[in-house]
Amino acid sequence: MTKQTKLETMKKRVLFLSWMLIALGGGLLAQDAYKGQVRVFGLHFYQKSNMLQVEMDINYDGLQIDSNESLTMTPYLQNANQRLDLPSVLVNGLQEQKAYHRAEVLGKGNPSTPEVKVAERPVVVLDKGRMKVNEFNYKVEVPFQDWMYACSLFMEFKECGCNGKTAHTFEDCLAEQPNIERPRTSTITPDIDRKILSWIHLLPAPLTVEQNLSIAGNIPLNNANLFRGNSQRKLNHEVYYKLLEAVREVRQMKGVEITTIDVTGYSSPIGNLEKNERKALNRSLSLKEYLYDTGLAGKANLNVRWVAEDWDSITSLVKASDMMLREAVLDLIQQIDVSRGRETMLSQLADGGPYKYLTTKIFPQVRRVEYTIRFQRQASGIEDSRFLLKNRPDVLSLEEFFALASSYPKGSTEFNDVYDLAARLFPNSPEACINAGAVALTRKDLQRAHKYLDPYAALPQASCNMGLLHLLEGNREKAEVYLSLAKANGVTPAAAALEYLKSKP
């Protein structure tokens, strides 16, 4: 393998995605539960082999229970005839948690005393502290059964009945018959030429030691109220919740270590530049403190900055618009410095008509947060690769692609599709393109085979497949040359194809 090829396999690939990420069964939209006091979002269903994984993020910031009360949340799956309760979670107020902890300690010290035994279940605490985010990630795996294909997910909320209050039980439907895909088992498709399939030469993947990857996204902040008065906490919340989705999506991959999270906020002009710059600095410091306190970054480096007035984006958006006096607006932006009254002059242009367009159409698009999550990832097993193939194929290494393809029957739809996708994601990899060309040959898709094989026709590794390509095109002379080269290099399938070629009149 050449040094350049090694660099290609280890190069950093940037993945762009929105904060609402799609998984098997779909990432369902956030919804309210328990009288609107609990918010559930990031709900996903994953089927891995004979297990069903259910995952969701539960925010209980709005939960209205007293400090000495508790609430039990129990998710459950149900269809017309069956129900399966998932592990419950106990939410304690601060005082109730102290009592619960005492009972837990006493129970451990004297396990024979039934009155102080505490149920073994996850416990979270409702803390209304200034920088606290009352939220947790719920993830559970249960043995998969066929009836779950038609089930719905519910959540039961059971009140404690403390302080003389009547205990009530509430139920909410979180997902009605989510789409859980049935696993497919494919065999060789009818369009595959079995003879060619037995002759193609599939190359092994280059060894990938470590992948340096990054995921980038954009969080719109077009609600102007987030930038007014004492709205910093709301702004921090907005960024945190949406950034959390992307961070969790990365962390659920096996073998991943997040190294850096870069967050950049952008504001539109509002009055005095110096004042805006002070506000931008305060926003960046407050957001960084908030993200650190919530534990979002973990051990990763967290970099936060804020651009006070994003005139570069304003310029680009104006150029792409059909606003009145567009050229005059662009001329003012380019010729008049901000410190010399650019915004004032824009507001006075044509009785303020263009400036009104800026404030209502352009500035809201400018207000946003852009983030980049940088992480390293070690190769994972086949089951995890199958999950990533459906949801985040961009993070799979070429080695994982080839191992995954080999796990399917040779010539099956999955086998062919995995090799073809690998070539599209690794267009500069000789191994990926030569293998995708081989798969195209089995389908007799000669145009696609040429596309993948022609750039590497001079490489010895491509000789066998190039010979098969010319064989299918009826060019015996070129086919014999390439197949002979491949045979000389020890490619066993080439010898069989060459023998077939020579046996034909």
Model confidence pLDDT, tens digit, residues 466-476: 999 999 999 99
Give me the chain's average pLDDT, please: 85
- Two tokens at 104? 């837990």
- Two tokens at 36? 């609107």
pLDDT in tens, 366-386: 999 999 999 988 877 887 888
DSSP code for 323:
-
Class of 194-208+397-503 in CATH: mainly alpha
**122 or 317, greater pLDDT:** 317
Q: What mean pLDDT is predicted for residues 168-173?
A: 95
**Gap between the Cα atoms of 198 and 214, Å rounded:** 39
Q: Which CATH architecture has domain 31-106+116-176?
A: Sandwich (2.60)
pLDDT in tens, 485-494: 999 999 999 9
**Gap between the Cα atoms of 201 and 459, Å rounded:** 13
- Two tokens at 424? 């599209």
Q: What is the pLDDT of residue 419?
A: 97
Q: What residues form DSSP beta bridges with 218?
A: 370
Q: What mean pLDDT is predicted for residues 405-412?
A: 92
For the cut 70, the answer to whether the pLDDT of residue 128 exceeds it is: no
What global pTM score does this model have? 0.63
Lowest mean pLDDT among 86-95, 172-181, 475-484, 493-502: 172-181
**106 or 242, greater pLDDT:** 242
For the cut 60, the answer to whether the pLDDT of residue 48 exceeds it is: yes
Convert 130-159 to b/e letters by CB count within 10 Å (16 or more is b). Answer: eeebbbeebeeeeebeeebeebebbbbbbb
**Gap between the Cα atoms of 168 and 37, Å rounded:** 15
Q: What mean pLDDT is predicted for residues 109-133?
A: 54
CB atoms near residue 264 (< 10 Å): 16
Q: What is the pLDDT of residue 183?
A: 60
Q: What is the pLDDT of residue 181?
A: 63
Q: What is the pLDDT of residue 112?
A: 43
The DSSP H or E segment spanning 53 is: strand 51-59
- Two tokens at 430? 């000789």
For the cut 50, the answer to whether the pLDDT of residue 116 exceeds it is: no
**Gap between the Cα atoms of 435 and 452, Å rounded:** 8
Confidence label for 15 from pLDDT (cuts 50, 70 and 90): very low
Q: Residue ranges of the domains in the chain?
A: 31-106+116-176, 194-208+397-503, 212-376
Confidence label for 252 from pLDDT (cuts 50, 70 and 90): confident
CB atoms near residue 58 (< 10 Å): 23
For the cut 50, the answer to whether the pLDDT of residue 290 exceeds it is: yes
Q: What is the pLDDT of residue 29?
A: 55
Q: What is the pLDDT of residue 298?
A: 85
pLDDT in tens, 191-230: 788 999 999 999 999 876 566 788 899 999 987 777 776 6
Per cent of the chain over pLDDT 90 is: 54
Q: What mean pLDDT is predicted for residues 35-55?
A: 84
- Two tokens at 371? 């983030």
Q: What is the pLDDT of residue 164?
A: 85
- Give residue 425's identity as a one-letter amino acid code: L
CATH of 212-376, one of 3.40.50.10800, 3.40.50.720, 3.30.1330.60, 2.60.120.260: 3.30.1330.60
